[in-house]
Structure 1
Amino acid sequence: MAGASACRDEVFEGASFTLCDVSRGEDLRLFLNGPDGPYGSFAAVNRALEAEGKTLAFAMNAGMYHRDLSPVGLFIAEGHEQAPLITRAGPGNFGLLPNGVFCWGKDGFRVIESRSFRDNRPTCRWATQSGPMLLLNGALHPKLLPDSDSLYVRNGVGVPADGSRAVFAISNEAVNFHLFARLFRDHLGLSDALYFDGSISRLYSPALGRSDLGFPMGPIVGAVIPKG
């Protein structure tokens, strides 16, 4: 069960990362809008969960968003599509194809390249689109450069081929895309991984005494557990 041991700090190639695991069957959700508009913060999500007697075990930002906090690409919550899939190339990291979709439901977790998702759309109870893909079937995104000097705090998610778990990662220092992608492949042994964002990346982990502050967020992903 997601809980006190869900998040941990590890070092890969001299850089520090926080990693959080969720297994198939655990209560992982996406959060975007409440009755008064976008949640925007971990605290607002926790307040909403109080009505269920539940709380966040951990959470992080889960994809890029517009100024009004609406998702840039596909967003599905509890089986309802709230924003459409985008498959065209475009500016910024989101449009650096291939990008992808993090999708999950009763069959487990998947990170799927966006055009493959369009052509053979799976059933997702929850889904968020972002980009670029970091790993695709074990291969690094071809445009990630090992000597890039574009350094940011970054976060994303990776999955194994069997979809049994999802591993969320956030760097605790500025790193480039290539190192971040290799974390998922070489350190965690995962087959597919998706970038969520950089510079605004934030984590909530009460077990680690951590609740990062910053500007309001759009999509948030979090593992939910009973409160108390």
Structure 2
Amino acid sequence: MKPFFAILTGFAVLTGCQPEPAGEAVARVEVGATGPASPAPSPGAMVGSAVESACRSIIFENTSLTDCIAVPTRHRIATALADGEGKIFRSLSAFAATREKGDIAFAVNAGMYDDDGAPIGYFVEDGNRLQTLNTNDGEGNFHMKPNGVFFGTGDRWEVRSTEDFLANVQDRPDFGTQSGPMLVIDGKLHPDITQDGPSKAIRNGVGVDDKGRAHFVISNAPLSFGKLARFYRDELKIDNALYLDGNVSELWNPTTERLDTGAPIGPILVVERKVPDDE
């Protein structure tokens, strides 16, 4: 483990969970994307010499969303934070410059972070725990409890509340990231999330369906916590979903050449193809 990571112990100012109506707009660049309300793809399926996008566009309650689906038989999920020199990426563009496009199905921001881009909660990369579980009380979205952890080993991925994770997960996963709040807990909306509150922002989250597929959803227009939570519960029928962040939410989809840019981000969730494009 590099010396850089050894200092990730305290919980600094929470850049990733400040009040969301302020903040920089995210520039979304997408070439050749499917239109709204397109049918669900078979993520990673070969179409001639091309690979079908793992992401689909959906209109939910008059808001455009992008649902990117990771399938255990076709994809691996990993976290990423910094390059080989210990420099935190801070953008999907910087991360993309280090990877072959054919290896990546998509990547998104992975939760909340401090002023330097370091995770403020539990974070595991390649089986190495770079930050411990954060059970502190505090201000901001991260501390809107229950918050939770998205984690996995091999082809099994889960979202659990922080209390559930602490009580029941004994083995360190291959990857893990903590964020908050939970959007859906055991099939019910987070108790502090209203039906359609006044705060609107570009937001993203993650949840795992009953087939073991991870759904990474990002809004293409500002929406409330309640609408994003209802999409997971009512449209995707997902019992446990976790909020990742707002305003800074970004997506890299190499298949459609979408590479969002905006305010600096922190941790990244990467969905890799088990069979790269060129094989």
Residue in structure 2 matched with residue 137 of structure 1 by the alignment: 186
Residue in structure 1 matched with residue 92 of structure 2 by the alignment: 42
Deviation of 1:42 (Å)? 2.1
Contact 2:67/2:218 (8 A) holds in 1: yes
Deviation of 1:107 (Å)? 5.1
**Which residue identity lines up with residue 197 of structure 2 in the other structure?**
S
1:126 corresponds, among 175, 180, 190, to 175
Deviation of 1:54 (Å)? 5.1
Residue in structure 1 matched with residue 126 of structure 2 by the alignment: 78
**Which residue identity lines up with residue 38 of structure 1 in the other structure?**
I
Relative to structure 2, which stretch is displaced further, 109-118 or 38-47?
38-47
Please report the TM-score for the alignment, with normalisation by the length of structure 1.
Answer: 0.92
Contact 2:195/2:226 (8 A) holds in 1: yes
Contact 1:4/1:57 (8 A) holds in 2: no
- Does residue 104 of structure 1 match 2:173? no
Residue in structure 1 matched with residue 79 of structure 2 by the alignment: 30
Deviation of 1:138 (Å)? 0.7
1:185 corresponds, among 233, 243, 258, to 233
1:20 corresponds, among 37, 51, 68, to 68
**Which residue identity lines up with residue 165 of structure 1 in the other structure?**
R
Deviation of 1:87 (Å)? 1.4
Contact 1:46/1:56 (8 A) holds in 2: no
User: What secondary structure does 2:98 align onto?
Assistant: helix
2:217 corresponds, among 139, 155, 169, to 169
Runs (4 or more) in structure 1 with deviation over 4 Å come to none
Superposition RMSD in Å: 1.7
Q: Provide closer, same or farther for how the CA distance between residues 192 and 207 of structure 1 changes in structure 2, counting only shifts above 3 A.
A: same
Residue in structure 2 matched with residue 212 of structure 1 by the alignment: 260
| 1:43-66 deviation line (CA, Å, top 9, x unaligned) | 33233334xx85322111010011
- State percent identity of aligned pairs: 39
- Does residue 94 of structure 1 match 2:142? yes
User: What secondary structure does 1:151 align onto?
Assistant: coil
User: What secondary structure does 1:91 align onto?
Assistant: coil
Name the count of aligned residue pairs. Answer: 225
Return the index of the structure with the highest Cα Rg: 2
1:60 corresponds, among 85, 90, 108, to 108
What is the CA–CA distance in structure 2 between the aligned matches of 1:168 and 1:151, rounded to whole Å? 19
Please report the TM-score for the alignment, with normalisation by the length of structure 2.
Answer: 0.76
Contact 2:92/2:261 (8 A) holds in 1: no
What is the CA–CA distance in structure 2 between the aligned matches of 1:78 and 1:35, rounded to whole Å? 13
Deviation of 1:217 (Å)? 1.6
Residue in structure 1 matched with residue 27 of structure 2 by the alignment: none
Please list every run of 5 or more consecutive structure 2 residues that lacks an aligned counterpart in the other structure: 1-42, 45-50
